[in-house]
Homo-oligomer: A and B are copies of this chain.
Amino acid sequence: MADQTTKLPSFGPPGPVRQILRQREPLNSEFPFAELSQFITPSDQFYVRSHFPTPSVDLKSWRLSIEGAVRKPVSFSLDELKQLPAQTRMVTLECAGNARMYLMPKAAGVQWDLGAVSNAEWTGVILSELLDRAGVRAEAVEIILEGADEGTPDEPPKPPGKIRYARSIPLSKVPDVLLAYEMNGEPLPASHGAPLRAVVGGWFGMASVKWLSRIVAATQPFLGYFQTTDYAYWQDDAGQPVRVPITEMKTKAQIARPAPGEIIARNSHYRIVGAAWSGDSDLSKVEISTDAGAHFTEAKLLGPAVRHAWRLWEFDWQTPISPGPVTLFARARDAKGATQPMARDPKYGTYVIFHVLPMEVIVE
């Protein structure tokens, strides 16, 4: 018998799912959020969001230029950037469309599940270091970050012909911007923007421009395609809707395990785990409901708080004695008291999905 068993084919235990592809060209893929087990997301699991095909960058000729409202336009090769003082920062990036799959009715766009969010350690030079060398003039109000990736966007009103991906930040946001050439201690991968990407702590990922090639100090708020048509929403301003760009991430908790529809043993201990984060404010607590929102109990936050990085959390759940479906909620709160809302705010269109998501599991 023993001999026969060893002859049967076997795979061994399955390895983790690395990424889930959502779109091949341009490349969009997400972290399988149920695989969350560590604070730092391995680079090959970190979600990838692209708007245009990955540009081929020739390192021999590549330079980062800084121009516009500056006293002295300058440019840097990658080697020159690496000779400047380096910083390493832990920053969580979340795509503004993360969890779009849960919108009802179905929204247009990449159908992200919960995994368009990841956390990495980024190393590079801080933006202010470069701006100081160029000398930003007093009339500048914003910094435009432009990538080398280009293409023709779809949504009207659309610009004529090809454009390069670009987003802006106000001067007040500059201290939170790192220009990274390393990710998790290794050279930045091509899909994450090599040779250089912006990492804008606290803001949705669309601000962290990849394949960074040009920085422009602007004297007017930038009204590019990805600030007005895309990644923008209508905000009421004294009775008139005005078009404003999406910026800061919202306070939010997500459950990694159990996974949606997971079958759980009755009358036992189950460790609910997940991550939670907040934009520029500090996360203060995560609360769990195991009775469809009737009662909330505080989860345990793990590890130290790191500004602009997510926090893992866990919650010991004594599962019900009787079998049946159970709806779980995780709800985050920030230090200023802002709590995740229970209902969707439709003003954000297909973006900024941060209401508390019900997760149904099955107790058997």
Indicate whether A243 reaches chain B with its CB closer than 8 angstroms. yes
Interface size in chain A (residues, C-beta < 8 A): 34
Indicate whether A221 reaches chain B with its CB closer than 8 angstroms. yes
Q: How far is the CA of A68 from the CA of B228 in the complex (A)?
A: 24
Are A159 and B228 in contact (CB-based, < 8 A)? no
Indicate whether A347 reaches chain B with its CB closer than 8 angstroms. yes
Are B238 and A68 in contact (CB-based, < 8 A)? yes
- Known A157-B234, A223-B244, A232-B157; contact A164-B68, beta-carbon cutoff 8 A: no
Are A243 and B228 in contact (CB-based, < 8 A)? yes
Indicate whether A324 reaches chain B with its CB closer than 8 angstroms. no
Indicate whether A58 reaches chain B with its CB closer than 8 angstroms. no
Q: B residues within 8 A CB of A242?
A: 222-224
Are B157 and A240 in contact (CB-based, < 8 A)? no
Are B160 and A346 in contact (CB-based, < 8 A)? yes
Indicate whether A239 reaches chain B with its CB closer than 8 angstroms. yes
**Min CB gap A236→B, angstroms:** 9
Indicate whether A182 reaches chain B with its CB closer than 8 angstroms. no
Indicate whether A130 reaches chain B with its CB closer than 8 angstroms. no
Are B224 and A240 in contact (CB-based, < 8 A)? yes
**Min CB gap A324→B, angstroms:** 39
Which residue from chain B places its CB closest to the CB of A155 in the assembled complex? B156
Are A228 and B225 in contact (CB-based, < 8 A)? no
Q: Which residues of A contact B (CB under 8 A)?
A: 67-68, 144, 146, 155-157, 159-160, 163-164, 166, 214, 216, 220-225, 228-229, 232, 234, 238-244, 346-347, 349
Interchain residue pairs with CB less than 8 A apart (12): A67-B238, A144-B240, A160-B346, A214-B239, A222-B240, A222-B242, A223-B223, A223-B228, A224-B241, A225-B241, A225-B243, A228-B228
